[in-house]
Chains A and B, each alone.
Chain A
Amino acid sequence: QQQVKQSPQSLIVQKGGISIINCAYENTAFDYFPWYQQFPGKGPALLIAIRPDVSEKKEGRFTISFNKSAKQFSLHIMDSQPGDSATYFCAAMVPTGNQFYFGTGTSLTVIP
């Protein structure tokens, strides 16, 4: 059972452009939605996270948009840079649990 669906699988963006990655979930009990960034050979690193009580959270060039009614959330990377090239995973967690349910990942390539 796939708790969190992520798209696209891969994304190529020009330097300076906007990268958008989308996730959808089914379980309305989820109340914490982080995004992780993973470089080859490294562990996932927490990038930004949101809770359902807000519709948007921004940290620098990274923004999460959250649509509770649609059960969707997305990551926007503004002014994308080659150094942003990595795999991005969305995840979700229920308040009574400890485990993250990860999406399938998006491989982002930013072309100079």
Chain B
Amino acid sequence: EPEVTQTPSHQVTQMGQEVILRCVPISNHLYFYWYRQILGQKVEFLVSFYNNEISEKSEIFDDQFSVERPDGSNFTLKIRSTKLEDSAMYFCASSGQADQQYFGPGTRLTVT
């Protein structure tokens, strides 16, 4: 069964450093998403991406965040200058239609 994959599974970085989280969506999917989940809290939407551009973003997704689909398979989330409060699980999701979103296993980001 096709699945969304994410790398790395755990990323530790120092405050102020740039991080790139990588995702490989399901191959025939057209919509891509990033969500985050702070430990013990609900899943929060960050951004959706369709047709090579951002289609929707939340208040969390400020200028420190960017997304890119550098080739036909990868979808990345970049945080330019990490803050302590960016520590969370980051989930990538993809869908063939906008509603049925399939989530990856997540990347745990720890900012020290």
A residues whose Cβ falls under 8 Å from a Cβ of B: 32, 34, 36, 41-46, 49, 89, 93, 97-105
Measured CB to CB, the nearest residue on chain A to B3 is A43
The count of residues in chain B whose C-beta lies closer than 8 Å to any C-beta of chain A is 25
Residues of A contacting B99 in the complex (Cβ-Cβ under 8 angstroms)? 32, 34, 49, 93
A105 and B42 contact, CB distance less than 8 A: yes
A100 and B41 contact, CB distance less than 8 A: no
Residues of A contacting B98 in the complex (Cβ-Cβ under 8 angstroms)? 93, 97-98
Measured CB to CB, the nearest residue on chain B to A91 is B43
Q: Shortest beta-carbon distance, A89 to chain B, in Å?
A: 6
B56 and A98 contact, CB distance less than 8 A: yes
B105 and A42 contact, CB distance less than 8 A: yes
Measured CB to CB, the nearest residue on chain A to B55 is A98
Contacts A32-B99, A104-B41 given: A99-B105 contact, CB under 8 Å?
no
A99 and B42 contact, CB distance less than 8 A: no
CA A101 to CA B43, docked complex, whole Å: 8
Q: State which residues 46-92 of B face A: CB under 8 Å.
A: 48, 50, 55-56, 58, 91
